Structure 1
Amino acid sequence: MSESSHRPSRPLAPGQWAFTRWITLGRLEALEIRHPLFNATLTLQGAHLVQFQPTDEAQWLWLSPAARFEPGVAIRGGIPLCWPWFGVPERNPPEVRKRIHTEQPHGFARTALWRLEDVRENAHEVEISLALDGNDDFADLWSGHALALITFHFSVRGCRLALTTTNLGAEPLALSQALHTYLPTPDLIRTRVLGLGYSSYIDTLDNWAYTFQEGPVYFSGETDRIYESGEPLTVVTPAGSRKLTPVGSDSTVVWNPGPDKAARLSDFPATEWPRMLCVETANAASDYRVLNTGQSHTLGVLIGR
């Protein structure tokens, strides 16, 4: 997925990092990257990217003004990791659903504490890897044993996420997942998503009916769709455009809560829904994945210019 011939240098021990440092964000431990070319912030809880912006540019991600940085609380905005299932359990395929022992949506990874694996830096890029062992510690929520490794790659051209799951169990493992990317816009009504035209989607607001998309995706209020497409996308807003290039995905989720649902959501000011949208690189609905013992799958996205 790399766009650059520059490779991050050998990892440095904590204290030797040139651009990366530990900080406390609210009540959460986080890593802050202050590079001459870009800034980024991610928390160990959820391996959650909450900020990315090239120097002298606006934040590329939408973060709720009411987001809470507290243990056990999902952060509203940025890029949450939905793993090892996406959405509400009952709407997952049977092979995924049979492993889930809770009604909690979007898995447990977004509120779990990940461990730092690696930091690599050079004059052009920073790369950070975090890992989560989905083992018996989560047995009350899920049956399975898998290793999740997320790698963040930052440069002036954009940010790249790669979430690799390896099945460490003795049986095949079915999972659904998503990189739940929140993007800002000055005006949702004048925003459109290109690249999903002529693909089918599930409209979860219309009793999960299948519908066909013709042309760009426009917004007029609440939107919740699972597209059967893993094609590169362009999000066009009045402030400019952003390209999303997926890897290991044949499904894309497009979401906005609209005014009524926004008023019911936690950590979401009721007036913020016209200023954001989610375009999520996913393995959702029929695009769920099954891994044999020892097998790995990588779900990734490059967010660029």
Structure 2
Amino acid sequence: MSESSDKPPISVNPGQWSFTRWKTIGQLEALEVHHPLFQATVFLQGAHLSHFSPRDEANWLWLSDLAKFQPGRAIRGGIPICWPWFGDPARNPPAIRSHIKTTSAHGFARTALWRLEDVRESAHEVEISLSLNANDDFAEHWTGHALALATFSFSVKSCQIALTTTNLSRNPMSISQALHTYLPTQDIARTRLLGLGNSQYVDTLRDWEYFNQEGPVYFEGETDRIYETGEPLIVVTPSGKRKLTSVGSDSTVVWNPGLEKSRRLSDFPDTGWQKMLCVETANAAADYRVLNDGQSHTLGVVIGRA
């Protein structure tokens, strides 16, 4: 990492900031928060949160040791924003596929350069807002026109992300999306996820068939499931518990690449799958959303102590 950048913010005055500074990391511009109670790092590319930790604690998010910070390259770890579609375009409902003009997964937001809208600070909290105007500049990717606003709220107790989409076109627009949250664990074999018992899920590794979840979710190899629930979840690892509470979501994606897929992933250690899991607040599969002209929808998650 280089020393802090003197590059001015796009729309707010850095002279008003007490805890937030510009930072150049690799080839990307980021905002680093050094509050007496917590720390955080948000990249302008992708509106990507890579770090959050209360004082004297380790990063609450998993970030790959091999992550690269380059223009146009998605960052491996943290919380990528998958928008305005999630996953393989071909696996999305027809209403979403009709907008997409590429075979690339997870949309274009995670590699696009977002605009800084606001930084608000207090003795107890820092809030950062970034926006992406998905207009004709993205015409090669899709046919929609929408505004995405990502708001990050940090405190000593929690990290909150709210992603609000507003349809700026005259026609109805369908989207799928996810806050692709990577979480750390000391041992995936001793990790479990609570709160999904008695819910249905689509198993993408078994021909996209539906199954019923009974009890906690354990990880015994590659896992890629879309659960039909928006209930609060508890991640239990050898070092403790973390609670995820969603807003505007009735689907949760649970993912771990396992041994074999880890070797094929970019910027991912061969053994990284043993130290991470993804629990993604989403609007995926049947939970996609339709927005009429001027209509908005907010997808959000609060990551806190359990």
Output the TM-score relative to the length of structure 2.
0.96
Deviation at 1:14, TM superposition (A): 1.3
For 1:48 and 1:185, locate their aligned partners in 2 and report how far apart those are by CA, in whole Å.
21
Q: In 2, Cα distance between the equivalents of 1:299 and 1:182?
A: 17
1:83 aligns with 2:83: yes
Alignment check: 8 A CA contact 1:120 1:126 kept:
yes
Q: Which amino acid aligns with 1:275?
A: K
Number of the residue aligned with 1:56: 56
Partner of 1:203: 203
Structure 2 letter corresponding to 1:73: R
Matches within 5 A, 1:265-284: 265-284=265-284
Unaligned runs of 5+ in 2: 1-10
5 Å-filtered alignment, 1:184-199, equals 184-199=184-199
- Aligned counterpart, 2:106: 106
Matched, 1:72 2:72: yes
Is the Cα contact below 8 Å between 1:252 and 1:281 reproduced in 2?
A: yes
Q: Report if aligned partners of 1:262, 1:270 keep a CA contact under 8 Å in 2.
A: yes
Gaps of at least 5 residues in structure 1 are 1-10
- Structure 2 CA distance for aligned equivalents of residues 133 and 12 of structure 1: 18
Q: How far apart, CA to CA, are the structure 1 residues paired with 2:15 and 2:30? A: 15
Report Cα offsets for 1:78-124 as digits up to 9, x if no partner.
Answer: 00000000000000000001100101000000000000000000110
Are 1:239 and 2:256 counterparts? no
1:17 maps onto 2:14 in alignment: no
How far, CA to CA, are the matches of 1:205 and 1:298 in structure 2? 29
Q: What does residue 117 of structure 1 align with?
A: 117
* Alpha-carbon distance in structure 2 between the residues aligned to 1:17 and 1:89: 41
> Contact conserved, 1:12 with 1:120, CA < 8 A, in 2?
no
State the Cα distance separating 1:12 from its structure 2 match. Answer: 6.5
**Deviation digits for residues 164-222 of structure 1, max 9, x if unmatched?**
00000010000000000000000001100000000000000001010000000000110
Q: CA deviation at 1:230?
A: 0.6
CA distance in 2, matches of 1:12, 1:143: 31
Pairwise CA distance, 1:156: 0.1
Q: Which amino acid aligns with 2:75?
A: I
Q: TM-score, normalised by structure 1?
A: 0.96
Give the distance between the partners of 2:93 and 2:160, measured in 1 at CA: 28
CA RMSD of aligned residues (A): 0.8
What does the per-residue CA deviation read over 1:125-183, in whole Å, with 9 as the maximum and x for residues that have no partner? Answer: 00000000011100001110000000000000010000000000010000000000000
How many aligned positions are there?
A: 295
Q: Which runs of 4+ in 1 moved over 2 A?
A: none
Structure 1 residues 12 and 140, CA gap change in structure 2 (3 angstroms):
closer
Query: 2-side partners of 1:205 and 1:128: how far apart?
Result: 37
* Partner Cα distance (1:286, 1:12) in 2: 39
* Aligned residue in 2 for 1:92: 92
Equivalents in 1 of 2:137, 2:239: separation in Å?
A: 44
Separation of aligned partners in 1, 2:109 and 2:92: 17
Report matched runs for 1:210-225 at 5 Å: 210-225=210-225
1:161–1:302 Cα contact (<8 Å) kept? yes
Structure 2 Cα separation of the partners of residues 152 and 73 of structure 1: 22
Read off the aligned partner of 1:173 and give its amino acid letter.
Answer: M
Contact kept, 8 Å, 1:184 with 1:277, in 2: the verdict is yes
Contact 2:12–2:117 (Cα < 8 Å) also in 1: no
Q: Contact between 2:200 and 2:227, CA under 8 Å: does it hold in 1?
A: yes
CA distance in 2, matches of 1:284, 1:295: 19
Is the Cα contact below 8 Å between 1:222 and 1:259 reproduced in 2?
A: yes
1:163 maps to amino acid = L
The amino acid across from 1:229 in the alignment is T
**Contact 2:256/2:273 (CA < 8 Å) preserved in 1?**
yes
Could you tell me which amino acid in structure 1 is paired with residue 248 of structure 2?
G
- 2:148 is aligned with 1:148: yes
AA aligned to 2:232 is P
